[in-house]
Amino acid sequence: MNPTDPSIIHGVSRLQAWSDEQRRAGKRIALVPTMGALHEGHLSLVRLARARANRVIVSIFVNPTQFAPGEDFERYPRDLESDLAKLRPLQVDAVFAPSVGDLYPAGPPTWVEVDGLTESLCGRGRPGHFRGVTTVVARLLNAAKPDIVIFGEKDYQQLATIKRMVRDLCFDLEILSGATVREPDGLALSSRNAYLAGEGRRQARALSAALVEARNAFESGERGVSRLLQVARQRIEKEPLIQLEYLELADAESLGPLLSGAGIQRSAVLAVAATIEGTRLIDNTVLEVV
Amino acid sequence: MNPTDPSIIHGVSRLQAWSDEQRRAGKRIALVPTMGALHEGHLSLVRLARARANRVIVSIFVNPTQFAPGEDFERYPRDLESDLAKLRPLQVDAVFAPSVGDLYPAGPPTWVEVDGLTESLCGRGRPGHFRGVTTVVARLLNAAKPDIVIFGEKDYQQLATIKRMVRDLCFDLEILSGATVREPDGLALSSRNAYLAGEGRRQARALSAALVEARNAFESGERGVSRLLQVARQRIEKEPLIQLEYLELADAESLGPLLSGAGIQRSAVLAVAATIEGTRLIDNTVLEVV
């Protein structure tokens, strides 16, 4: 084995033993949870982990409980060998690749659920999704026992929800987030971009472009919620393959929707979800009020 | 301060720091979660902790989320000084006495919920109760980070539910349980026994007596579910102040009810809940099939 190859760890108790050993040796451990199909967005989180900790664990697990029936759980891209090849140059110490049975023993699972933050935005279109996310992340945190856990800002609502869970359940760790990494034309990196091709892929750039246009308006002084949404919507509506699921301005902290007649007075997140030729994409930008 | 007085710790992060320090020194930590109003049942759990670990934490927290509106959250007995006096001879290292705000920051709480096990027995009469229990115990486990956590067997369904949560959420710790401690007349110790007096207290002994009579029948070879329940029920029905909530034989593992026409083929728990002059009491005995 190449000396920079990470240990591949499958079972929970083996990971816990590994983590205990690192901690006894005084090492600071960072966990980067992923569903695999790694792209430069994930790798940027691994680099952040590398910079902030002595030991880096990447978990690779396509979590069934965060997919609803009819979503893409079965066809979600899985390629452990290719993922390991991408991680090799980054000096990851351990890759945790559990089976479904490792994290979900027989019987109805114990659920972890964050109310409030999970009802708006993606929570409306994907009921149960965030419950699945918090349910698996709680398991991963107890399995890896990290000092630091790192998530991407592309999944803004997921990040907010996990921050809330970590605070509420008293997990003794620090959450860091990494900025969204984008293609040259602005499209946010996503494992699901692999489903896109041709004209669908070309039109997908409108999502990030719409956010940039609204952000430009905001930075030029526009504070009207309706007006900012209109700027973004106009850009998206130019692309006939985009089926908009939502385009919303929400309070950056509570994720509650801003009233359309109102103005932005506190930091807000402009978030979008859309389907292009069957592929669901999300993106967001934070409009900061200081 | 008396040298055997435990440290009183209020905040979560202080407890985590204390626990980290003990662990770095190679100590094995046991947590005994309680709602205070300590009696000999709790103290037996503390002694078990003392025997199995180098450091013992007792948490004292009357958890609001496990009480339904109209239950006895407000009048539940609270006397920290008296509890500390009872713990003093047992050489407890730390008492964790958080405020409600320490464990439940503002906003809707993150819930931890075990399905299946929580729907029968007490779950029917106290909807939301076990969700409250698992929600607070998950917090306490992350706050204390123990190697061992100890619960009493009097709360059989609670113990089964927490075991399931610990397994499902991959908490890296061992669960131990302590046998029910009883008054000389058989009444299971409970902080709520303090509400009983006079004739109500006298009649309360019928609950444990009923379990003993059914267990005697079982040990004499009786396997019929209906017959065993009848033996127990007859004893309870002698006492007019007892309002029976349930008297059930359930599978010892799944807690699913045994059919009344069936016979006991796997270990079962005979469980009872009743109200006596406004005081709700529970008790159980396990009928083991080897």
For residue A108, the model assigns a pLDDT of 87
- Report the helix count and the strand count for chain A, using DSSP H and E: 9, 10
A282 pLDDT more than 60: yes
Select the residue from A29, A142, A161 to test the B interface by mutation, using most B Cβ atoms within 10 A.
A142
User: Of A280, A193, A214, which is closest to residue A244 (Cα–Cα)?
Assistant: A280
Contact A146, A171 (CB under 8 A): no
DSSP letter string over B211-276? HHHHHHHHHTT--BHHHHHHHHHHHHTT-TTEEEEEEEEEETTT-PBPPTTSB--S-EEEEEEEEE
Residues of B in contact with A172 (CB under 8 A): 13, 16, 142-143, 145
Contact across the interface for B168 and A16, Cβ inside 8 Å:
no
Residue B46: what pLDDT? 98
Contact B110 A134 (CB under 8 A): yes
Distance between CA atoms of residues A42 and A140, nearest Å: 17
pLDDT 10s digits, B138-195: 999 999 999 999 999 999 999 999 999 999 999 999 999 999 999 999 999 999 999 9
Smallest Cβ–Cβ distance between A142 and the set B104, B108, B169 belongs to B169
Q: Is the CB of A172 less than 8 angstroms away from the CB of B114?
A: no
Binding-site residues on chain B for chain A (CB distance < 8 A): 12-13, 16, 103-105, 107-116, 134, 138-140, 142-143, 145, 164-165, 167-172
Report the pLDDT value the prediction gives residue B2, as an integer from 0 to 100: 53
Identify how many contiguous H helices and E strands chain B contains and give both numbers. 9, 10
Which pLDDT tens digit goes with each residue over A34-66? 999 999 999 999 999 999 999 999 999 999 999
Please indicate whether, in this complex, the C-beta atoms of A105 and B168 are within 8 angstroms of each other: yes
Residues A206, A239 contacting (CB under 8 angstroms): yes
What does R_g of chain B's alpha carbons equal in angstroms? 19
- What is the per-residue pLDDT for B4? 64
What are the start-end ranges of the H helices in A145-178?
Answer: 156-168
Query: What is the Rg, in whole angstroms, of the alpha carbon atoms belonging to chain A?
Result: 19
What is the per-residue DSSP string for B23-63?
HHTT--EEEEEE-S---HHHHHHHHHHHHH-SEEEEEE---
- Give the torsion through C-alpha atoms of B129, B131, B134, B137, to 10 deg: -60
Residue A215 tokens, joined: 């952000």
Q: Sign of dihedral through CA atoms A32, A37, A40, A41?
A: negative
DSSP state of B10: -
Query: Which residues of chain B does A108 touch, with a Cβ-Cβ cutoff of 8 Å?
Result: 114-116
| Residue B244 burial (CB count, 10 A) | 16
Indicate whether A1 pLDDT > 70.
Answer: no
Amino acid identity of A34? T
Cβ-contact B260, B135 below 8 angstroms? no
**Is the CB of residue A218 less than 8 Å from the CB of residue A264?**
yes
Report, as an integer, the average pLDDT of B71-82: 96
d(CA B30, CA B148) in angstroms, rounded, equals: 5
Tens-place pLDDT, residues B8-24: 999 999 999 999 999 99
Closest partner residue to B12 (CB to CB) among A105, A116, A170 is: A170
DSSP secondary-structure letter at A182? B
CA distance A238 to chain B (A): 40
Q: What is the pLDDT of residue B117?
A: 96
Residues of A in contact with B104 (CB under 8 A): 168
Rounded to an integer, what distance in angstroms lies between the CA atom of residue A84 and that of residue B229? Answer: 59
Say if CB B19 and CB B144 are below 8 A apart.
yes
**Length of chain B, please?**
290
Provide, rounded to the nearest whole percent, the portion of chain B with pLDDT above 90: 95
Q: Which tens digits make up the pLDDT trace of A86-133?
A: 999 999 999 999 999 999 999 888 999 999 999 999 999 999 999 999
Q: Are strands A110-114 and B110-114 parallel, antiparallel or unpaired?
A: antiparallel
What's the pLDDT score for residue A219?
98
Tell me, what DSSP letter sits at residue B185?
T
- Single out the residue of A120, A146, A127 nearest to residue A30, CA to CA: A146
Q: Which stretch of DSSP H or E encloses residue A272?
A: strand A268-276
Instruction: Choose the closest CB to A108 out of B13, B116, B139.
Output: B116
CB A179 within 8 A of CB A153: yes
CA A218 to chain centre: 25
- A232's enclosing H/E stretch is helix A225-236
Token reading at B35: 């709602």
CA B237, CA B223: separation in Å to the nearest integer?
22
What does the DSSP 8-state code read for residue A96? E
pLDDT tops 60 at residue A2: no
Query: Alpha carbon B236 to chain centroid distance?
Result: 23
Concerning whether A39 is annotated as a catalytic residue, the answer is no
Straight-line distance from the first to the last Cα atom of chain B, in angstroms, rounded to the nearest whole number: 51
Q: Name the band, by pLDDT with cuts 50, 70 and 90, for residue B108.
A: confident
H runs (alpha helix) in chain A: 12-24, 40-52, 80-87, 100-103, 122-125, 129-144, 156-168, 198-219, 225-236
Distance from CA of B66 to the nearest CA of A (A): 16
Interface test mutation site (partner A, options B24, B168, B173, B174, max chain A beta carbons within 10 A): B168
What average pLDDT does this structure show over A187-192?
A: 97
Domains and CATH numbers, chain B: 7-178 (3.40.50.620), 191-287 (3.30.1300.10)
CB neighbours (10 Å) of residue A290?
A: 3
Q: What are A's interface residues with B at a Cβ cutoff of 8 A? A: 12-13, 16, 103-105, 107-116, 134, 138-140, 142-143, 145, 164-165, 167-172
* Structure tokens, B154: 């009097």
ipTM of the complex in this document: 0.95
Residue with more model confidence, B4 or A67:
A67
Question: How do residues B47-71 score in pLDDT, each as one tens digit?
Answer: 999 999 999 999 999 999 999 999 9
Tell me the pLDDT band of A79, cut-offs 50, 70 and 90.
Answer: very high
Contact B170 A114 (CB under 8 A): no
What does residue A283 show for φ and ψ, rounded to 5 degrees?
A: -160, 165
Q: Across the interface, do A168 and B139 touch by the CB < 8 Å criterion?
A: yes
Q: Which of B113, B165, B167 sits opposite A113 (nearest CB)?
A: B113
- pLDDT value at A3 more than 80: no
pLDDT at A5: 80
Residue B157 Cα to chain centre, angstroms: 8
Residue with the bigger pLDDT between B218 and B2: it is B218
d(CA B56, CA B146): 9
Pairing of strands A279-287, A268-276: antiparallel
What are the chain B neighbours of A116 within 8 Å (beta carbons)? Answer: 107-108
Nearest CA in chain B to A164: B110
Confidence grade of residue A4 (pLDDT, cut at 50, 70, 90): low
Taking the alpha carbons of B234, B238, B242, B243 in that order, is the dihedral positive or negative?
Answer: positive
**A74: DSSP letter:** T
Q: Residue B188 has which token pair?
A: 């299971």
CB contact under 8 A, A170 and B139: yes
Interchain contact, A113 vs B115, CB within 8 Å: no
